[in-house]
Structure 1
Amino acid sequence: MAATHPPHVVALLYEAYLRLQGTVEEAGRAYDARVRPAHSAVFFHMEHEGIRLSRLAEKAQMTAQAMGALVDDLEELGYLRRVPDPADRRAKLIVFTERGDDALRVGYAAIDDVERRLAALLGEEGLAELNATLRRVITQF
């Protein structure tokens, strides 16, 4: 009989991420069922003053073509628009519309709820320790 090993920390972090992200995605679906989980790559990596598609794709570690399809979707749904880049009129910046700003507020409220639930589960000190530990992991890897 093979020995069973506890899950690796990478697996635990991934599972925790999926559950926390699922909570945020539920709030997004309640706001607009047409927004898909894949769209979170756009919302997460946007820069509020605007961003070029190539930079957005780079930040999300996606191809420009894949990111372009997501941006097209969100533009069609009224969350984003493309405007001329003041630094280079030939280029376009992707910016949030008013609807996009509203969706961001919904997303931030869901994230705040997740943080409150984590604080209730771990205590304020435990949550602060988790944050510090995750920041160390992020900066060291």
Structure 2
Amino acid sequence: MRDEAWRRDNIGRLLNDAARAFEAQVLDYLARAGHDGLGATHINVTRNLDSAGTRLTELARRAAMTKQSMGELVRQMEALGYLRRDADPQDGRAQIVRFTAKGAAWLKAFRRALRRAEADMAARLGAGTVLALRQSLQRYRGDVL
């Protein structure tokens, strides 16, 4: 049998696994703070929704998802009271997705959870390593996007 470690230990897989572990930790902190009911897929909405609101089509584009998939996530978050849709005053056919008051509170808790997870990472890997990782990933992202 051939060595297949390359499938588990390539940089893409390691980045993906690390991102999933990081997001799981963030969601755990949110649940402990009383903000449960949302999963890792809902983070795609949170990451891409502007504080003032964003069109559904733009949310989908930013998340590299279909409009239908993003629409389903938004519907789920609406049902839980985190989001609402308002008519777009510039285009009667479009809707703007916005955080509700509950969603804004969740967003603040999300920010705290992110900071806490980043602090945990710095405690495990060292603050200098995390800073270098952040700067390297930002540089790489800028180079490939």
- For normalisation by structure 1, the TM-score amounts to 0.88
- Aligned equivalent of 1:29, options 24, 28, 31: 31
Change (3 A) 1:69 1:5: closer
Structure 2 residue aligned with 1:118: 121
Structure 2 residue aligned with 1:9: 11
1: CA distance between counterparts of 2:69 and 2:81? 19
Where in structure 1 are there 5+ consecutive unaligned residues? Answer: none
- Aligned equivalent of 1:79, options 79, 82, 97: 82
2: CA distance between counterparts of 1:139 and 1:132? 11
1: CA distance between counterparts of 2:76 and 2:4? 44
Change (3 A) 1:8 1:92: same
The answer to whether the 8 A contact 2:26-2:114 is kept is yes
The answer to whether the 8 A contact 1:51-1:95 is kept is yes
How far does residue 28 in structure 1 lie from its aligned partner after superposition?
Answer: 3.3
Identity of aligned residues (%): 32
Structure 1 residue aligned with 2:97: 94
The answer to whether the 8 A contact 2:53-2:98 is kept is yes
Change (3 A) 1:54 1:2: closer
Comparing 124-133 and 94-103, the one that deviates more? 124-133
Structure 1 residue aligned with 2:55: 52
1:140 lines up with 2:132 in the alignment: no
Letter in 1 for 2:31: R
How far does residue 2 in structure 1 lie from its aligned partner after superposition?
Answer: 4.2
Task: Calculate the aligned-residue CA RMSD, in Å.
Answer: 1.9
The answer to whether the 8 A contact 2:23-2:40 is kept is no
How far does residue 3 in structure 1 lie from its aligned partner after superposition?
Answer: 4.7
Structure 1 SS opposite 2:29: helix
1: CA distance between counterparts of 2:81 and 2:109? 15
Change (3 A) 1:5 1:79: closer
Comparing 69-78 and 84-93, the one that deviates more? 84-93
Change (3 A) 1:33 1:119: closer
